A and B are shown apart, each in its own frame.
Chain A
Amino acid sequence: MFSIEANQLTKQFGTFTAVDHISFQVNEGEIFGFLGANGAGKTTAIKMMSGLLLPTSGTAMIAGFDIRTQSKLIKRNIGYMSQKFSLYGDLTVFENMQLFGTIYKIPRKELKDRIMNSLRELDMEKQADTLVDSIPLGWKQKLAFATAILHRPKIVFLDEPTSGVDPIVRREFWKLIYLAASKGVTILVTTHYMDEAEYCNRISIMSEGQIKLIGTPDELKKKMEVNTINDVFVKFVKR
């Protein structure tokens, strides 16, 4: 069974087709990159897969659940982190994690242990009672990721998780992604950074709502006869 299985997934807004019959599968524990220019339809696709939007036609199975009829079950089994940093700035690190953990119905005591554990992993134990507004952006991003996987989802959607943070933090962030994937969490990540695309197990390149290319980074490089994913993207756009 695939972790994500999209089948002719389509979304139209009036006459505009944001996502145009996309089909792809993602395996459990895989890191799947979603590439494409702005407006290519990545965010709309993620919204449909996470149960925020109903597709116009087509369907997708997320963790074995149908996005049309089982959005409640899907929501329990996914985590999400968006391009905009989206924890509460006027709540402390601990309060933020406690809020989302409680919403996901993690029992109180268990929740406290999990929060302390993940703060230890992030080396942020000392910041537990610091307001999120007063910690650096890179830390906030890592914290948002830790919060998104606190309830141990089967799939995590990361919508441009590293935009605006420096290369060092981006590398640390990817370490966290690998760590989660090694525990069997499926990662679907959109990014603008082509070097990050190289870190993915497989990538797809979207344009005008359609998936134009899909495969491992090496396969795509070979196919387009270039040396980097950046060149793949440039060549693809020129075509």
Chain B
Amino acid sequence: MKELRMILKKEFIHIFRDTITLALVLAMPIALVLLFGFTISTDIRNAKISVLDQSKDTQSKTLVNQLSASGYFQVVSYPHNELEIDDDFKNKGIKLAIIIPPNFEENLSKEGNATLQVINDVSDLNVASILNNYVRAVVQRYTADYNDNSSRGSAFDITVKMLYNPESNSVYMFVPGIITLIMVLVTALLSSITLAREKETGTMRMLLITPVKKIYIIVGKVIPYMIISFISTIAILVISVTVFKMPINGSLLMLLFLCIIFMLTAASFGMLISSISRTQVDAMMITMMGLFLPTVLLSGFLFPLNSMPMVFQVLANIFPAKWFILAIKDVMIKGSGFFDIWLYLLILFVMAVVFIIFSLSRLDKRN
């Protein structure tokens, strides 16, 4: 035990004497949350649009009013024909144009349906699809209002209810993602890089030639970085809750327990990486390819998993990040407890055990 304490002390000395890295490691999570929070927002306000109203009746005007009252859109121009719409896209920077065909009110009252044409600027696919959804939402609300007021009643009464994230707030999406990234970067990347550094400088051989237990060398490497990434996680949570009003609907204890389990998984993945890499560059490349990219791309953090080809959906299952993000979203947003997420916890834990056994067997090889 004394030896483990000594190795821990040595690791902490490494960390604290390398002030630049330490500052980076502590500042990075905070910078990431603030960056994501303030810049990468998927909520759009006051998008410029044009409306070509060919009916100019009461109902069409009501619809246009509702569109601009929604806050999502700002009608900047009322063109007279479709040629002018083209002009608006080029010169007025509109993102979307709506054409209300003639006899809108008449069609609506007599035939019970009316058409509406939406023209999108799809040079930015994300913005276009978000705006489309907004239009759809406004039209649905409008339809509901119309049905309430009209004597006819309705055959197409659609109601949409937003669950868990009523304001469609994108903070809810990226906070779990950033926590995952930080834990992966700090625990897996840093611990594997410093272990590889010891292989490069030859101090690893010095340690291996001593009678110290190999597990002590690894645990001594991993624990300090787990502590740092735990501190970072708490910093991220505090900022998310205070600055971005992210709710923590589940129990805080459950959340922290989940984070610790995932940290263990990330750390054991880091061990695995350092057991197969010889140099710091190896360790970096393997972490980037084997852990960082899958975490960003295949975890459902930025890109929804169920819209991916089947191959990738299956592939995503073998990376710990997917399970952690599922679990942390459940705990933070839905307020799930242990019995709702025990399966995710179990998967993460089993992954950690497998990684640890594999990397120990690699370090132990004397052949």
Contact = CB atoms under 8 A, between A and B. Distances in A.
A-B interaction? yes
A82 B199 CA distance: 13
A72 B211 contact: yes
B367 A53 contact: yes
B2 A90 contact: no
Contacts of A52: 205, 208-209, 366
Interface stretch (B10-18, B117-125, B159-167): B10-18
A86 B3 contact: no
Contacts of B207: 103
A103 B212 contact: yes
A99 B319 CA distance: 37
Q: How large is the interface on A (under 10, 10 to 19, 20 to 34, 35 or more residues)?
A: 20 to 34
B10 A95 contact: yes
Contacts of B10: 88, 91, 95, 99
B155 interface: no
A87 B203 contact: yes
A100 B206 contact: yes
A173 to B, nearest CB: 18
Given A84-B202, A86-B201, A88-B203, A104 B13 contact: no
A105 B3 CA distance: 7
A54 interface: yes
B4 to A, nearest CB: 10
Contacts of B203: 86-88
B215 interface: no
Interface in B204-231: 205-212
Given A98-B6, A105-B2, A86 B202 contact: yes
Given A86-B201, A90-B17, A51 B209 contact: yes
B6 A99 contact: yes
Contacts of B211: 72, 75-76, 103-105
Interface in A102-116: 102-105
Nearest to B206: A86
A102 B6 contact: yes
A75 B18 contact: no
A90 B201 contact: no
Contacts of A82: 202, 205-206
Contacts of B366: 51-54, 71
Majority DSSP secondary structure for residues of B touching A: helix
A80 interface: yes
Nearest to A107: B2
Contacts of B205: 52, 80, 82, 86
A85 B206 contact: no
Contacts of B202: 82, 84-86
Interface in B153-210: 201-203, 205-210
A80 B208 CA distance: 11
B13 A90 contact: yes
A186 interface: no
A141 interface: no
A50 interface: yes
Contacts of B367: 53-54
Contacts of A54: 366-367
A84 B201 CA distance: 7
A91 B13 contact: yes
A48 to B, nearest CB: 9
Contacts of A104: 210-211
Contacts of A80: 205-206, 209
Contacts of A51: 209, 366
Nearest to A78: B209
Nearest to A13: B367
A214 B207 CA distance: 32
Q: Which of A51, A84, A99 has the most CB of B within 10 A?
A: A99
Interface in A29-58: 50-54
A22 B10 CA distance: 39
Contacts of A75: 209-211
Interface in A56-94: 71-72, 75-76, 78, 80, 82, 84-91
Q: Which of A76, A85, A102 has the most CB of B within 10 A?
A: A102
Interface of A: 50-54, 71-72, 75-76, 78, 80, 82, 84-91, 95, 98-100, 102-105
Given A78-B209, A84-B201, A85-B202, 4 more contacts: A53-B367, A71-B366, A88-B203, A102-B3
**10 A-B pairs with least C-beta separation:** A86-B202, A84-B202, A102-B6, A75-B211, A54-B366, A80-B209, A103-B212, A86-B206, A103-B210, A90-B17
